[in-house]
A and B are shown apart, each in its own frame.
Chain A
Amino acid sequence: MAEATTPDPEVATTATGGGTNLLLQNLFNGVVFGLLLALASVGLSLIYGTTALSNFAHGEMVTFGAVLTWFLATPQPVTVPLVPVEFHIGLPLIPAALLAIAISAALGWVQDKVVWSQLRRRRVGLVQQMIVSIGLSLALVNFIQWWIGGRPVRLTTSIDPRVQYGPISVGNVTLISMAIAITALLGVAFFLQRTRLGRATRAVSDNPALASASGIKVDSIIRIVWVMAAGLAALGGILLALYQQGFSFDDGTRLLLMMFAAVTLGGLGHPYGALVGSLVIGIVAEVSTVWLPPDLKFATALGILIIVLLVRPQGILGKAERVG
């Protein structure tokens, strides 16, 4: 039967380790996945905080970062839909990744300029905006499938050898990815806490009308948030693609639910909620595989989301307020 031989695309091809202690190894994998997830979802949380939009097209921004890096880095000839020309780009991985992040951030600017700021100006309701983002997500994910096909793309052909540290085994690329993720997250925290723009962002998050009245240009703050969100999502996608050793056209879309779970869990719109929530979701998803079948780990994480909403709908860091 053909089904048995092809690997199941729904089971994320995470590098499950050969550590000596299964629980500790899974806990560590959970932290890694949580950090990368945090990188992808911090933008989602910032966008929610400043515009109150649940952006369902955020997963595609993650995919886009990974796919664009592959597009720029692969030595094979590549094509773009509807353009019957083959390109040979083949940049080294790091310049390709940096260029991909820059292009993604620029596209974040364009997306806000062309779509979202127009909708805000027309005073389109939030629910309508949410459905627009769903339409955008459907269009983008299928565009990416059309672009790269149904098979996962790999950013590098080299294999990351695992090194044993005490009870945990981990590859060097994963360690570097973790360092990059932590640096980027600290950078976001520094930006939010210590810079004028960051303080303005938090002010818009808190109360847009009041921020606007005190002279903050709300629309340009939101534009900056979109650029940051898109860039961070692209970085998250690239690191996830390295960690999972491949990225499919719909991996980001599938990750969107994890991101929503993380952001809701941490406290919708709370700037650090995404980090806390992502770590919880990452650890729950990975550690659950010690007792439950691995193809249920996403289901477990989503189950946690529903339980949290039952007991603490404002999330872990959110302020207790009436929601609804």
Chain B
Amino acid sequence: MDILLDVLRTAIAPSTAAFALAAIGLNFHFGLTGLLNMGHAGFMLLGMYGFAISIQQGWPIWLAVLVGLAAAAIFGLLLGWPTLKLRGDYLAIVTIAAAEMIRFLGRSQSLSGLTGASSGIRGSDFKPPFEELSPFPDSIVQIGPLEMHGSRSSSWWLTLVTWSLVIIFAIIYWRLAGSPWGRVLKGIREDEDAVRSLGKNVYSYKMQALVIGGAIGALGGITWALGNSVQPDSMGRPTTFWIWTLLLLGGAATVFGPVLGSILFWSALTLVKSVASAVLPPEVLAPTDLEPFSLVLVGVTLMLLVVFRPQGVLGNKKELAFNG
């Protein structure tokens, strides 16, 4: 029973919602436009730095969120400028390199006054303005079988906000994907040259998708940081690959794919870890080995998914033709 409760707790956790948001952003890149953004964690990290540092400067919370989103949008512009005219795998290499640069800069001692170097920014330094807005009581609240804190850190308040954001952005994705603008993006995904020959500015459309998706990724980063803390190493390459796995798991180019993918991915990971630690004796699998063990499974899942079911749980195989 405890295991099931753990799984349920993971399924509705704010971090799960934050990853769903980030995956919606990636869905704009990959699902809608076919861009291979392998540096999504960099957008998230920029979002959280922008937010946390602005709060530390004493700026209001709405401005801090805007700074985070703007940082990611500018990052998207800078990345897209040299690469969007080139073949897809150049974008993959450059985004992954740029995201690592952000992380190296963040953990560099030379900027420690702003970013706190490798130890990052503590939650208590940037969470209070958000937590003060909470309508929930400032204590542990029990709802159904679950209990969480009302307003601090990974709280009911954050759960409410993050899942509302997920719903809002899922609707935005749904509306935009069906709009004339979204249909051009899908056209670029399927056949760039055909769209170009219709007189559309492919470069500008790709850039718009990159910037919008990146900004949503930054929002995912901000909400993730509100439940945890700003830590450059938590936003390394593995994070990007998790988002890819969960997006492909749920189904790229679908409205609910990122959301379902995030819930399934994190629940399954919790389930695997709890079952493995309950079943396997510690001589075979030490508790410290659980994390790498489960990540080996994530990697293998990603490989199998891409080969055998590239459309994921919800997707339409015809719609998602990987080109290249």
Contacts and interface: CB of A to CB of B under 8 A. Distances in A.
Are chains A and B native binding partners rather than an unrelated pairing? yes
B187 interface: no
Interface of A: 1, 3, 8, 10, 54, 81-82, 84, 119, 122, 124-128, 130-132, 134-140, 142-143, 145-146, 149, 253, 257, 260-261, 264, 293, 295-296, 298-299, 302-303, 305-306, 309-310, 313, 323-324
A323 B86 contact: yes
Contacts of B107: 8, 10, 295
A20 to B, nearest CB: 26
Interface in B287-315: 288-289, 291-293, 295-304, 306-307, 310
B302 A257 contact: no
Contact of B86 (A10, A122, A309): A309
Contact of B295 (A142, A295, A299): A142
Contact of A82 (B36, B284, B295, B321): B284
A257 B96 contact: yes
B318 interface: no
Contact of A3 (B81, B118, B297, B321): B118
A142 B292 contact: yes
A185 to B, nearest CB: 23
Interface of B: 36, 38, 81-83, 85-90, 92-94, 96-98, 100-101, 104-105, 107-110, 118-119, 237-238, 241, 244-245, 248, 283-285, 288-289, 291-293, 295-304, 306-307, 310, 321-324
Contacts of A323: 86-87, 90
B67 to A, nearest CB: 22
B104 A125 contact: no
- A contact patch SS: helix
Contacts of B38: 134
A313 B91 CA distance: 11
Given A125-B324, A299-B104, A313-B86, A135 B302 contact: yes
A126 B310 CA distance: 13
A138 B86 CA distance: 26
A127 B296 contact: no
Contacts of B36: 127, 130
